[in-house]
Structure 1
Amino acid sequence: MGDNNGYRLSHAQKRCSEDAGGRHDDGRRRAPPSRMRACAECKKHKIRCEPVVGKSKCAKCIRSGVECVPYNLNQRFLEEDASWKANATVKLSQLRSAVQLLLRHSNLPDLEHASSPVLSSRNWSPSASVVSDQNMVVAPLMDMSRGSTAELEDSGLATVPMDSLYDLMRIRTLSSDNRHGSSLASPKEDFIAQGRVSLKEAEELFGRFMKDIRLYLWAGILFPYKSLEAVRGNSSLLTAAMLTIAALHTPGGDEALQKCYNIFVSLAYNTCLSRPQNLDDIRAQALAAFYLSNLSWKLSGLAVRSAVELNVHQSFQKLMRGHDDQRDNVRLWYALYVCEHQCSIAYGRPATIHEDAAIKNIEQFLDSPHIKPEDVRLCAQVSLFRILTEAYNTFGSDPDHALTEADLHQLHFFNVAIEQWRPAWESRSADSRGIGSYPSKGVVLYYHFARVHLNSLALRALPLPNPGALEALSYDRREAAKIAISAATSTLVLIFEEPDLRSAMPAVPVFTHTMVAFCATFLLKIVKTWGHLAPGHQSPMMVNSDSNNIPLDLNVPQILALARRSADFLAKVAENVNEKHLTSHIVQGINDLLDGLDVIDTPGSANTFEIDGLSEIDTLHSHTSGSAASEVAFGTNDLEHFGFGFDENFLKQVSYTNLDFWETPSY
């Protein structure tokens, strides 16, 4: 009996020793105990349940062909419950991020503030919100998955450093050899199918876009689809961009614009740090950059980087080697060049795309039987922005840097290049169905844009004028200033006189409206800054253009008439677009500048100025130089922002008036 007790004690001590150390006495690691319990079938027959390696069933259930159900279901329930909770946690974080995004879009308090009794929605402001870790977007897991190492044997000599690293590590996200991925969009799962935008509303907006907007942006180079179903099946982002732009050009469509804009911004956020899926997503970014003024700079840069990641910049060389399927990719690269350089010129910032082989060899691209009229229009703008970009690189955009006499001499060569550009492309831009003579007249319009843009640089950073300032200007500087004044005047007159340009104004990109606003602003600032320096000061704003002592040859009555007519014309344009469109705010800005002159009627100074066969009676006004209103409207140094960057203060003044939902959310 004592021996049995001793045996039991020894056996228990040995078992405790194995459990504590996980090893047998001889040092070998013991196998972990099986967590498999007898299944219901084996339990029923009271036999041993024998698991089979690699199978989910035991031997008995495999022989019997029945389902192998564990007898104790609690363990299975616990595992499923843990999995469900993990997924629910991720979903809850995503929903919280989405709600936070919507609250910020609507200028409502954060979730914490909304549930707190201390801070109500009445006294809440965006500046009172507190950014915490809970407000951050749930990011996907960092992708460090590896590809097959067998590809290393077939790869050639790596010419790109990241390719060498990829060959060594095989991490997919390091590969620079991106293919044009297939679309992941599905009409059965997109935001229209979800009911966020009704199908009827989407079809109406699609029809407006196709009829009124698509043709003016090179006949669909950025939107190559003819049906709503087709674009939905290729890119939800392009669909959202198209609907947003169409809603922006729909009078009274505030609700539709709000919905489409929110959807587009949400999708665009998702693409910022993700790898590009297809070319249509890049088209969407560029298309929105042309028309959404508050997002244009960000989206243009994002579109360029996405295109480079898909090697679109190499499409021209492939086309020249006989790959005709690359022609559309070259068109896209040209469109991105124009888009980014329009933003570069407008904001006075350096561009990303340089003059590569595609930009330098436009004529080789056009020397093909497959060329379309829209290709000519596109290449015309590429050619023009090459000139303007070279000027930017030469003169810079520093508003405090005045051009030297050597710079003015260099400016002459850029003027010659623009003078040669106009006849070279105007004759090649034939009329087109649906837009009439807009192609050739658009060349003339951009010709005037370029001239006023370049030559206004001659007045950049000049000191405030005094009665002797006009005579102090050198001949080259005066000539450049007169070219800028003439070009700005010609721009406005051309729009009034050409019916096809007038018809196009509601549908043209933001850059065209920006340039028209700049021309009107430039002329009014010239009048305000230089107009009171007439010899003898017969009238503070009267400038006798017949006098040889007046080097700028200002025609104040014409300038005032053009400014007022511009505001009236753009006001009519604004009636055909949404109130959030830039045009209505440009009108308000021009009228504010006119009011800022602090004018009073001057008897006997009526002047008749005819535009497009219509007579307009304009009463000339005298200028009160010490007016506080004038200083507010024009600033202290009115020549500061001429040239690159346009008049950015003016654009900021008119671009975001009452545009609450244009403010994109920040994280």
Structure 2
Amino acid sequence: MDTTPQKRSPDDAGFGSPRENKARSVPKISKARACAECKRHKIRCEFRAGESTCTKCTRSGIKCVVNDFSQKFVDDDGIWKSQANATMNQLQAAVSHLLRQAGLPELSTYAPGDTLNGPSPAASYHGHHPSVDRSQTQTSHQEGLGVVMDVTREPSPEQDLQDPELVPAPMRSLYEVTKLRNLRNNHVEAPKQTLLEEDFISRRLISLHEAEELFAYFSRTMNQLLWGGIILVHRDLTSVRRASTLLSAAVLTVAALHIPNRTETLNRCYSEYVSLVSNMALTRAHTLDDIRGLCVGAFWLSELSWKLSGHAVRIATEMGLHQSYQRLTRGHVDQYERAQLWYLLYVCDHHFSIAYGRPPVIHEDVVIRNYETFLALPMVVPGDIRLLAQVALFMILTEAYRMFGSDTEQALTDEDFGQLRVYNVAVDQWRLLWQPRSADSAYVRTYPSKGVVLHYHFAKFQLNSLALRALSPSNTPVFSMDRKESANIAISSAMACLNMVLEEPDIRDAIVGVPIFTHTMVTFSAVFLLKVAINWNTAYLSINSRQVRRLVERVIELMNCVSAGERHLTRHIARGLGKMLERFDSWEAAWQFQGSNDTVEGRDVPGGANAMAQGFPPPDLIYGMVGTYGFGLDENLLDPSMADFDFLTQ
């Protein structure tokens, strides 16, 4: 027998035609549909039309289980596709989230063949990525080690040189050339969703019950005093917590400051608020409610007011609020709330510009000057009228600031009083216009119209106190008639401020909840009158020292008897004015006891050197306090505890 191995044909070896090979590669699925019982007995399995059980299983009365392998493949394939689709949807959601976090375009903008930051063949050949340089690569490796400078570039297409916007902001041109993401003009990240489960109330820093109580107190008092509730538009605590943790912390902190016996709560809320403000300093994800949260703190937290107001203005300009008025006048009614907030920021900025004697940040551009156009809009509320009344007043005072400067050692010349008289007339006209327009409120009664009168006296006092700037009895032997007239207006206006706070029920009842600007002006009026009464006798100015003493004494009584927290500003005002009144009494006692004039530092001083030894500041130091509007004073002259006051350490 021939045992020589036979050479296999191509067909035997599986190397047939391509069509035959393809046919062999596809597994054949059996079409047999025999049930398990028939298959076990190896008999024909027959089904009658419309029945799901074979004839044998029907006769035997047993369950008919069909082994349909083709259906099993179909079912398995459907399950796999469903799982694959679910996984793909998860991946798409994850990639979209990462793109948003990185500030990159939406996933739908990428073509199917595109790669995210994947190098092109040419870039790989040259060893350089078209949109990620060496610094960025180093950044990615250092992310786990700390914060590094972001130098990532945008993948957006290049700008066309025929762009119709020929003169954009300079930084935008730099961005168009470099595509550096951190240079993008007006780039504001979308804020992360505020989760109630993560805020300080959920962390039990304060109970929900107490938080609800504080929110309700703020809503019906301070919020109504500040222009009818436009600073806080949320109706319940849950809404404000979802909108902005910063705003909810500000509201609860301010409320706890005003309610007696809430010192522990105040400490916790204040610490949380300061922490939130610090954490947001370098972020770009902000909302309108975050700006409101900064403003609430600025209006009522004295030690933070200047920094918070400036920070709020910077964030607002980054968000484009200064352009909202123009969009509103072009028919975009959704810009109303943003434009309203810009006017509020203007007033907030100017409150503390005046209080600290510093230049304001927001200037009187077309938006500020055209406030009457804003008031003509159909969606305007009564609070807008009260707010815009303040805008109109601070426009006058700011113009005076620029006219007369802020140098506390520069006295007004006789020629300056003509312009000062113009500003006085403007303030008189302001009162005549805005007092009738300010309607009463169900919450604060006549405070809106009476508040216009109070601020009228504030403004007259601020303007005319300039008559005494850089002057004292030792260097001003003779007053001109214009200077004496203005100085006497300042005195009468300061006394009117104090009398109104003491005599008008709706003003007196609101003295605790008003913003600190009002407290500042009331305090300064009292200090001004005490110092003028000591240093300028009736030969110079029309002032009665006994009347002044009684007024200040009543202000101290009012500040001591109001219902407020232990660290509220009224407590410090009462203590500081009390110390100053003691010095005033010592001065007067020494003067009456000696009954003679001694010479101190080359000038005649009532009471002489013994009176000076009692500790009342010399006139040259006193009148150093009369800044642009009578400010620029050393806070320690009022109360040492008020300088750099910190709620957590006092």
TM-score by length of 2: 0.71
Match of 2:222 among 207, 213, 216: 213
Partner of 1:521: 527
1:385 positional shift:
0.5
SS of equivalent residue, structure 1 residue 553: coil
1-structure distance, mates of 2:229, 2:151:
38
Unpaired runs of at least 5, structure 1: 1-64, 66-137, 532-542, 544-549, 605-621
1:653 positional shift:
4.1
The reply on whether 1:503 has 2:509 as its aligned counterpart is yes
Match of 1:140 among 136, 147, 154: 147
1:148 aligned partner, one-letter code: P
1:638 aligned partner, one-letter code: I
1:403 positional shift:
0.8
Partner of 1:232: 241
Residue deviations 1:383-434 (CA, integer Å, cap 9, x gap): 0001111111111111111111122221111111111111110010010110
Residue deviations 1:109-154 (CA, integer Å, cap 9, x gap): xxxxxxxxxxxxxxxxxxxxxxxxxxxxx96333333323237459
Partner of 1:555: 544
Partner of 1:479: 485
Contact (CA 8 Å) 2:188, 2:318: kept in 1 or not?
Answer: no
Contact (CA 8 Å) 2:212, 2:237: kept in 1 or not?
Answer: yes
1-structure distance, mates of 2:373, 2:637:
41
2-structure distance, mates of 1:303, 1:562:
37
Partner of 2:16: none
1-structure distance, mates of 2:331, 2:449:
31
SS of equivalent residue, structure 1 residue 516: helix
SS of equivalent residue, structure 2 residue 156: coil
Contact (CA 8 Å) 1:599, 1:624: kept in 2 or not?
Answer: no
2-structure distance, mates of 1:647, 1:350:
12
Contact (CA 8 Å) 1:455, 1:643: kept in 2 or not?
Answer: no
2-structure distance, mates of 1:435, 1:629:
47
1-structure distance, mates of 2:619, 2:264:
37
Match of 1:362 among 358, 371, 378: 371
1-structure distance, mates of 2:187, 2:285:
9
Residue deviations 1:161-215 (CA, integer Å, cap 9, x gap): 1112222232222112345834531111111112222222211211211122110
Residue deviations 1:15-69 (CA, integer Å, cap 9, x gap): xxxxxxxxxxxxxxxxxxxxxxxxxxxxxxxxxxxxxxxxxxxxxxxxxx9xxxx
Match of 2:156 among 145, 149, 161: 149
2:450 aligned partner, one-letter code: K
Partner of 1:131: none
State the Cα RMSD in Å: 2.6
Q: Output aligned runs, 1:135-284, within 5 Å.
A: 140-150=147-157, 152=159, 157=165, 159-178=168-187, 181-284=190-293
Q: 1:647 to 1:149 in 2, by over 3 A?
A: closer
Q: Output aligned runs, 1:421-570, within 5 Å.
A: 421-465=430-474, 469=476, 472-531=478-537, 543=538, 550-570=539-559
Aligned length: 490
1-structure distance, mates of 2:327, 2:189:
15
2-structure distance, mates of 1:183, 1:651:
43
Q: 1:651 to 1:222 in 2, by over 3 A?
A: farther
Match of 1:646 among 616, 621, 631: 631
Q: Output aligned runs, 1:270-309, within 5 Å.
A: 270-309=279-318
Contact (CA 8 Å) 2:466, 2:627: kept in 1 or not?
Answer: yes
2-structure distance, mates of 1:356, 1:264:
33
Q: 1:603 to 1:655 in 2, by over 3 A?
A: closer
Q: 1:507 to 1:625 in 2, by over 3 A?
A: farther
Q: 1:209 to 1:186 in 2, by over 3 A?
A: same
Contact (CA 8 Å) 1:529, 1:638: kept in 2 or not?
Answer: no
Partner of 1:619: none
Q: 1:660 to 1:406 in 2, by over 3 A?
A: closer
Unpaired runs of at least 5, structure 2: 1-79, 81-144, 593-605
Partner of 2:577: 590
Q: 1:633 to 1:207 in 2, by over 3 A?
A: farther
2-structure distance, mates of 1:655, 1:490:
27
Residue deviations 1:420-466 (CA, integer Å, cap 9, x gap): 11111001001011000000000000000011111111101114438
2-structure distance, mates of 1:629, 1:657:
24
Q: Kindly name which structure, 1 or 2, has the bigger radius of gyration based on alpha carbons.
A: 2
2-structure distance, mates of 1:551, 1:310:
53
1-structure distance, mates of 2:472, 2:541:
17
The reply on whether 1:418 has 2:433 as its aligned counterpart is no
Q: 1:249 to 1:479 in 2, by over 3 A?
A: same
Q: 1:589 to 1:475 in 2, by over 3 A?
A: same
1-structure distance, mates of 2:644, 2:202:
29
1:553 aligned partner, one-letter code: S
1:318 positional shift:
0.4
Range moving further from structure 2, 173-182 or 373-382: 173-182
Q: 1:643 to 1:419 in 2, by over 3 A?
A: farther
Contact (CA 8 Å) 2:152, 2:181: kept in 1 or not?
Answer: yes
1-structure distance, mates of 2:642, 2:472:
31
Contact (CA 8 Å) 1:286, 1:336: kept in 2 or not?
Answer: yes
Q: 1:239 to 1:655 in 2, by over 3 A?
A: farther
Partner of 2:340: 331
TM-score by length of 1: 0.70
1-structure distance, mates of 2:540, 2:246:
53
1-structure distance, mates of 2:506, 2:450:
8
Q: 1:435 to 1:180 in 2, by over 3 A?
A: farther
